[in-house]
Amino acid sequence: MKQLTIALVLIAVSQCAMAQVKEGREMDAIGKTAKAETILADKFPSGTRHEFVMVPMRDGVKLATDVFIPPGAGPWPVLFGHGFYGRLTSALDTRNAKDGTLVHICQDARGVYDSEGKATIRLQDPTAEIHDCADSLAWIAAQSWCNGKIGMTGASGTGVGPAAAFLSNNKHLVASLSTISTPWPYFYWGFHNGVRRSLYNWLPHAGLATPEWPKPTLPLYDFDRWPEVLAGAGKDNSTLLIMTGGWYDISPEAVLDVFAACARTCRIFATINPGGHGGHCPFTWPQKPKSAAIRSAPAIPDVLMGKQKIPDKSQLAYFLMGSFRDPDGPGNYYKVTDTWPVPHTPTPYYFHADGSLSTAKPVERDAALNYAYDPKNPAPTVGITYMLQSGPHDQRPLKDRQDILRFITGPLGAPLEITGKILADLYVSTDVPDTEFVVKLIDIHPDGYEMLIRESAIFGRSAEEFHGRPAPLEKAKVYQLKLDLRSTAIVLASGHRLGVLVTSSSKPEYEVHPNTFEPVLSYDKSPVAHQTIHLSAAHPSAIILPIIETGKQ
């Protein structure tokens, strides 16, 4: 799609960014070195005016903002960038600047670089960025050089603003592009099922403290408000939203959540590719020809200037993965839909005491498997969902660990298509007051390659019995844990086997749990947890897969 060109900004700065990947600050260097004067001379026609403004928000905090106004009488449409990587990174996407047809605006988010409000941003609140973007849009629309039509673009940390701005439902926002990003980074980037993820370490870029201790880190996000925010955005919202993500990136679930909530009443063009963040994925997927049914998203500047019309129907183009190692196998092409989730059959695959995985429910009364989890010897992550570590890594390096349970089907007699949200239902017991469980879904190839599909984690304190009010676990008592492994789209070829790994750690992707209920300052006194996964008729642990019938969407 035309709008994917903004992602090239990430690639162009990749050499200077690699040292910052660990902290999730992949565009920090260019944000610090870009200068308004240089950009004015290089990107804009002679006579362009540059203004620096501190734009006030509803609480009095002012955001640092650069405005580039074309020569002439105006008014003009506005292309607006707002983010966390230094505001002038937004000015790098200035393909139309030399034409003098748009006002370009670049703005630092609250509390970063030159904006006020240090330590006041509350990303735990899903409306934090929405409110700031709404106030900024209102200010822009009121200026004499603005003709009332505003567009936004951004990728990664600069893509948070365009997605959040869409949710503000502002009548002046004509079109918004959010590439490889989410409208709520604290939730989507920072946690899985309440467990701190490695990309939680990105949050200092937004002015939030992320101390390593004490552990476990307890999430503070207000998730109950999120469905309400999404539902509100879908009412009478005329903004065109373009979103992109990758199955092995941080962003796809946010793209799908927004699409599911708003696509029916709004106009959303969404694409989920098979890759990682900003093209930084060490795996290459074969791709079969795209369907003619997939429409190209319009370009934001062209929409602002009336050169392209906003489509009247939403579209989600998602890549149905197969094996990246087999170009002749099933899958590896794009599908298109106007609804999400697509029709599917939730199908439990049950774990059995003999290590098998099948759709047959256990009949045994007391079947279970055990392992010991030592926080001082955590299982390593093999492939995480960020930058060069992302992708379908081979999980065989974990094969000899005694703290990982393996459940595997027999060879598939026919292709198995999985599209949608993957869930896991674990029945567990332990001898510590709190602990962690990790579940991985893998595609085992005939030659033994164990391709990672999805992975997630959960704390024992999140047991269904507690109804959202965590309490210490009782020794040997059976608890039910429901894990959301988030979504995928993949088809396993005949002869492949489906596998599930169950363990209690995956470092560094998930925080290593100290096996305590109250947070502690070190692992020095962390006990070894003796974990039990129950596999009986009364406690049937399983993974629930969204299966697509052959020949269906």
> 330 and 354, same structural domain?
no
Read off the pLDDT of residues 232-265 as tens digits, 9 standing for 90 and up: 999 989 999 999 999 999 899 999 999 999 999 9
Query: Cα angle vertex 89, ends 131, 128, to 5°?
Result: 15
Instruction: Give CA separation, 347 vs 119, 172, 295, 344, 538, in Å.
Output: 45, 44, 32, 9, 18
Is residue 5 over pLDDT 50? no
Print the SS3 string covering 175-214: EEEEECCCCCHHHHHHEECCEEEHHHHHHHHHCCCCCCCC
Residue 36: inside a domain, yes or no?
yes
Question: Which run of H or of E encompasses 255?
Answer: helix 252-262
Structure tokens, 524: 């020095």
Q: What is the predicted pLDDT for the residue at 95?
A: 58
Structure tokens, 224: 């109950």
Structure tokens, 399: 């094969």
> 319 and 355, same structural domain?
no
Instruction: Give the closest residue to 180 by CA, choosing from 211, 202, 213.
Output: 202
Read off the pLDDT of residues 285-317 as tens digits, 9 standing for 90 and up: 999 988 878 998 999 999 999 999 998 899 999
Of 284, 314, 337, the residue at which a domain comes to its end is 337
Whether residue 331 contacts residue 322, with contact meaning beta carbons closer than 8 Å, is answered with yes
Whether residue 301 contacts residue 79, with contact meaning beta carbons closer than 8 Å, is answered with yes
In three-state secondary structure terms, 427 is strand
Residue 395: inside a domain, yes or no?
yes
Number of domains forming the structure of the chain: 2
Residue 553: inside a domain, yes or no?
no
> 174 and 56, same structural domain?
yes
Q: What is the dihedral of CA 122, 127, 128, 134, to 10 degrees?
A: -170
In three-state secondary structure terms, 19 is helix
Residue 87: inside a domain, yes or no?
yes
> 148 and 129, same structural domain?
yes
Read off the pLDDT of residues 464-495 as tens digits, 9 standing for 90 and up: 999 989 999 999 999 999 999 999 999 999 99
- Tell me 98's DSSP state: G
> 164 and 89, same structural domain?
yes
Is residue 515 over pLDDT 60? yes
> 432 and 301, same structural domain?
no
- Tell me 166's DSSP state: H
Question: Which run of H or of E encompasses 393?
Answer: none
Identify the domain containing residue 126 by its residue range.
Answer: 2-337
Of 337, 363, 386, the residue at which a domain comes to its end is 337
Q: What are phi and psi of 403, to 5 degrees?
A: -105, 25
> 129 and 10, same structural domain?
yes
Secondary structure (DSSP) of 324-345: TT-TTSS--EEEEESSSSPS-E
CB atoms within 10 A of CB 372: 13
Whether residue 50 contacts residue 66, with contact meaning beta carbons closer than 8 Å, is answered with yes
Structure tokens, 273: 């590719």
**Cβ neighbours for 15, distance < 8 A, ≥ 6 positions apart:** none
Instruction: State the amino acid at position 503 in one-letter form.
Output: T
Read off the pLDDT of residues 309-332 as tens digits, 9 standing for 90 and up: 998 899 999 999 999 999 999 999
Of 279, 314, 337, the residue at which a domain comes to its end is 337
**Cβ neighbours for 273, distance < 8 A, ≥ 6 positions apart:** 244, 245, 246, 247, 319
Read off the pLDDT of residues 65-75 as tens digits, 9 standing for 90 and up: 999 999 999 89
In three-state secondary structure terms, 22 is helix
Query: Cα angle vertex 365, ends 359, 369, to 5°?
Result: 75
> 416 and 319, same structural domain?
no
d(CA 153, CA 307): 18
CATH number at residue 542: 2.60.120.260
Whether residue 36 contacts residue 52, with contact meaning beta carbons closer than 8 Å, is answered with yes
First to last CA, the chain: 22
Residue 473: inside a domain, yes or no?
yes
CATH number at residue 241: 3.40.50.1820
Q: What is the predicted pLDDT for the residue at 110?
A: 95
Structure tokens, 259: 């699409």
> 192 and 312, same structural domain?
yes
Distance of CA 149 to the CA centre of its chain: 29
d(CA 222, CA 104): 34
> 503 and 385, same structural domain?
yes
Residue 535: band (very low, low, confident or very high) from pLDDT cuts 50, 70, 90:
very high
Instruction: Count CA atoms within 13 Å of residue 372 on its CB side.
Output: 6
Residues pairing with 154 in the sheet: 178
> 517 and 483, same structural domain?
yes
**Cβ neighbours for 40, distance < 8 A, ≥ 6 positions apart:** 48, 50, 68
Instruction: Give the closest residue to 169 by CA, choosing from 256, 110, 234.
Output: 234
- Between helix 128-141 and helix 160-167 the angle, nearest 10°, is 80
Instruction: Give CA separation, 488 vs 101, 342, 376, 442, 497, in Å.
Output: 41, 12, 32, 12, 17
Is residue 386 over pLDDT 80? no
Residue 373: inside a domain, yes or no?
yes
d(CA 522, CA 396): 30
The β-bridge relationship of strands 529-534 and 416-429 is antiparallel
Pick the more confident residue, 183 or 13: 183
CB atoms within 10 A of CB 131: 17
In three-state secondary structure terms, 472 is coil
Read off the pLDDT of residues 345-381 as tens digits, 9 standing for 90 and up: 999 999 999 999 999 999 999 999 999 999 999 999 9
> 390 and 251, same structural domain?
no
